Amino acid sequence: MDLGLNGKTAVVTGASRGIGLAIAEELAAEGVRVVGAARTITPELEKVAVAAVSADLSTAEGARTLVDAALAELGGIDILINNVGGGDAAGLKLGGVLDADLEQWRYLFDLNLFGVVATTRAALPSLIERRGAIITVSSINSRLPAVGPAGYSEAKAALTSFSKRLSEEFGPGGLRVNTVSPGVVGTRIWRGEDGLGAKIAEANGAPHDQFLAALPEQFGIASGRISEPEEVAALVTFLASGRAANIHGADYVIDGGTLKTM
């Protein structure tokens, strides 16, 4: 299927590894000129991006730096992929509302919500002019508020709501805005020895490899396995293309059947 993306331009945040890198690679394979952003630039990102920008996207300054650099390199932005998010597992406290201090809440909202708002606002004039597309990577945690470190699910719920607002406001003018909400994905967040998966395994007294092997059953994943970054990237790339021209304000779940609601 020809997605008609050849010659388009895109900004991908959180692009140095995992889902973000897979999206950058998929878009580049379709002929898209990609500017990738991350705090730490990797050789893998430099290989597929026309420019790689080091920026802290939890700050308004970092967002402005990225968009200015992208506009200078690309001349305009057709596609914005807001993938940056998550959080440094080492600094996050597991447990309930009273277990996490306000600094954790602020950190998770700055990274998962306010940084996306700042980046999107900076890129909006070019995206509106080009009748482009925004795809924001949220999470099924936006629908599961009691799961994960306190503050994370709440930030993702606000992020999904923000995308819906954008769609309602700018959709009539031709800008398409959608979200993709993955479940567990096989990135370093879950598979890495310093990631959230390892931290949860330790908290439950289980070896990391055994925790990962049991995870699909424990999480009720109907497919019996977790998703891979390339699968999320394929969905995002489709939504960025003209083939998805009348998909507006939608939230696409890719979780192997973890969510049981209709």
Tens digits of residue pLDDT in 134-190: 999 999 999 987 677 889 999 999 999 999 999 999 999 999 999 999 999 998 888
Instruction: Answer whether residue 196 shows pLDDT above 90.
Output: no
Bridge partners (DSSP) listed for residue 177: 134
At residue 3 the predicted structure's pLDDT band, cuts being 50, 70 and 90, is very high
Which three-class secondary structure state does DSSP give residue 144?
Answer: coil
What pLDDT score was predicted for residue 129? 98
CB 20 within 8 A of CB 84: yes
Write the pLDDT tens digit of every residue in 99-145: 889 999 999 999 999 999 999 999 999 999 999 999 999 999 999 87
At residue 201 the predicted structure's pLDDT band, cuts being 50, 70 and 90, is confident
Strand order in the sheet with 251-254: 51-54, 33-38, 9-13, 79-82, 133-137, 176-182, 251-254
Residue type, 237: T
Instruction: Answer whether residue 214 shows pLDDT above 90.
Output: no
Higher pLDDT, 5 or 214: 5
Higher pLDDT, 5 or 206: 5
Per CATH, the homologous superfamily of domain 9-185+228-254 is NAD(P)-binding Rossmann-like Domain (3.40.50.720)
Which three-class secondary structure state does DSSP give residue 88?
Answer: coil
69-105 as b/e: b if 16+ CB within 10 A? bbbeebeebbbbbbbbbbbebeebebeeeeebeeebb
Domain ranges of the chain: 9-185+228-254
Query: Whole-prediction pTM value?
Result: 0.95
Q: Indicate which residues carry an active-site annotation.
A: 152
Write the pLDDT tens digit of every residue in 63-75: 999 999 999 999 9
Reference 124, options 158, 85, 82, 83; nearest CA is: 82
Write the pLDDT tens digit of every residue in 12-48: 999 999 999 999 999 999 999 999 999 999 999 999 9
What pLDDT score was predicted for residue 63? 96
